[in-house]
Amino acid sequence: MNIVLYGPPGAGKGTQAIKIAEKYNFVHLSTGDIFRKNIKENTELGKLASSYMDHGELVPDEVTIKMLEDTANQYPDAKGIIFDGFPRTIAQAEALDAFLEREHGQKVDKTLSLEVENEELIRRLLERGKTSGRPDDADENIISNRIVEYNNKTAPLKNYYVQQGKFYKIEGVGGIDAIFERLAAEIE
Ligand code: AMP
């Protein structure tokens, strides 16, 4: 089963993806986490990624898609994959479909969209920035830019998945466990 967890920055994708992976024994693939690991290890990919992430911009598709495919290929026997923060552009969504079909004869089964109001997103990100150590959470200008990038490049994905009948809205406010229950109900 291949699930895409979709939603703006601060919607709770990371928190919920971890819980989904745990409960269903799925592989959790977060492109943001992989970029941050590369930044920590000071790899070439990390240096390139941080030059975009530090401004709240998306890392170019070509680089992101290759990294995602290389990582997914490390789990040929995965029972399921939860994609967190990928795809974020139409080109990435098309590449993911092509990759799943080519390598595994599979498809994206569902896209679960965590729905949260803009004001609440900014509030959550600034709060998270106090402890996350993420430079892109600590600065309101960078946060705004991430939301602009989301609206310009990622929001169009909704239609892409709606047209395929795969798009499911999940109310993303309330307690972590309550939100998780809603996601689990949709997965099951
Ligand atoms: P996240 O951890 O998902 O909030 O991602 C943090 C940052 O990593 C984003 O603001 C982007 O700069 C970069 N990033 C993560 N995933 C992607 C992606 N699928 N495409 C492009 N950039 C990404």
**124 labelled catalytic:** no
The pLDDT of residue 171 is 97
Give this prediction's pTM: 0.96
* Contact (CB, 8 A) for 51 and 41: no
Q: Which CATH number does the domain housing residue 136 bear?
A: 3.40.50.300
Q: 114 in ligand 1 pocket by Cβ < 6 Å?
A: no
The pLDDT of residue 166 is 97
User: What total of structural domains would you count in the chain?
Assistant: 1
Q: Which helix (H) or strand (E) holds 120?
A: helix 118-132
Strand order across the 110-115 sheet: 27-30, 81-84, 2-6, 110-115, 167-171
Q: Domain limits at 25?
A: 2-187
The pLDDT of residue 138 is 87
pLDDT at residue 30 is higher than 90: yes
Choice among 19, 36, 124, 146 that is catalytic: 146
Choice among 13, 19, 36, 124 that is catalytic: 13
Q: Which of 54, 58, 32 is nearest to 150 (CA)?
A: 58
pLDDT at residue 23 is higher than 90: yes
Q: 147 in ligand 1 pocket by Cβ < 6 Å?
A: no
pLDDT digits (tens, 9 = 90+) for 145-171: 999 999 999 999 999 999 999 999 999
Average pLDDT score, the chain:
96
Stretch 6-10: mean pLDDT, rounded?
96
**102 labelled catalytic:** no
Residue 34 structure tokens: 């992989």
pLDDT at residue 132 is higher than 90: no
**146 labelled catalytic:** yes
Choice among 19, 36, 88, 110 that is catalytic: 88
pLDDT digits (tens, 9 = 90+) for 40-96: 999 999 999 999 999 999 999 999 999 999 999 999 999 999 999 999 999 999 999
Stretch 128-145: mean pLDDT, rounded?
90
**123 labelled catalytic:** no
Q: 50 in ligand 1 pocket by Cβ < 6 Å?
A: no
Q: Where are the beta strands (DSSP E) in the chain?
A: 2-6, 27-30, 81-84, 110-115, 167-171
Q: 31 in ligand 1 pocket by Cβ < 6 Å?
A: yes
Give the position, in ligand 1's atom list, of the atom nearest the Cα of 146.
10
d(CA 86, CA 20): 16
**182 labelled catalytic:** no
Mutate to test the pocket of ligand 1, among 28, 59, 144 (most ligand atoms within 8 A of CB): 59
The pLDDT of residue 133 is 87
Phi, psi of 172 (to 5 degrees): -95, 15
The pLDDT of residue 7 is 97
